[in-house]
Amino acid sequence: MLEIINLLSFTDRAMSLNKQINEDLKNALKQNDTIRLSCLRMLKTAIKNMQVEKRRDLKEDEIQAVISTMIRKGREAAEEFRKGGREELARKEDQEIAIYYTYMPKQLTEEEIEKTLSEIISEISAKGLKDLGKVMGEAMARMTGKAQGKEISRIAKKILTVDK
């Protein structure tokens, strides 16, 4: 019985995130907030594409994975725009990233990531960079949605090379 209740509350949270995005989309439309409107439309499209691909409604963690992908793509685009001297487009990407982050759980700080990675390294007795795959597998399971994979990987490499 408890499992059913937990499953129902999980489904409600996922639906509430989707509902929140829909409500924010309506509000952006009413307030004529073009950046937020554009951003949320792209997000809704990405979520819908994933639903079609999986042929079912998405769970909250899957919606957060879609959002995380949008954040990663936005960061990459902003970086490329800056390299190309297009600061105004980079700022637009940064604004979109900020909007996406409002739908994510609180992001871990670098210190929190280091602490979690140190615990994982101790638990699996990782000795160096050769164990990076094992560390990353466990780290992503624990920190998905709370930190970007690229950041986790960078910190894990730093810790594993120092621990040699």
Residues 31, 91 share a domain: yes
Q: Phi and psi dihedrals of 158, rounded to 5? A: -60, -45
What pLDDT shows up at residue 163? 54
Residues 82, 129 share a domain: no
Residue ranges making up the domain that contains 15: 9-101
pTM for the whole thing?
Answer: 0.75
Residue 151 lies in a domain: yes
Domain endpoint, select from 101, 127, 142: 101
* Percent share of the chain, pLDDT over 70: 90
Of 7 and 153, the structure prediction assigns the larger pLDDT to 153
Provide mean pLDDT across the span 22-49: 95
For 108-133, how does the pLDDT look when each residue is reduced to its tens digit (9 = 90+)?
999 999 999 999 999 998 888 999 99
CA atoms of 161 and 106, how far apart (whole Å):
28
Domain endpoint, select from 82, 101, 120: 101
Domain endpoint, select from 62, 81, 101: 101
Provide mean pLDDT across the span 13-21: 77
pLDDT(8) > 80? no
Residue 1 lies in a domain: no
CA distances from 132 to 5, 17, 143, 155 (A): 37, 33, 15, 11
Residues 115, 94 share a domain: no
Q: Binning pLDDT at 50, 70 and 90, where does residue 3 land?
A: very low
Residues 129, 93 share a domain: no
105 and 60 in contact (C-beta within 8 Å)?
no
Structurally, how many domains does the chain consist of? 2
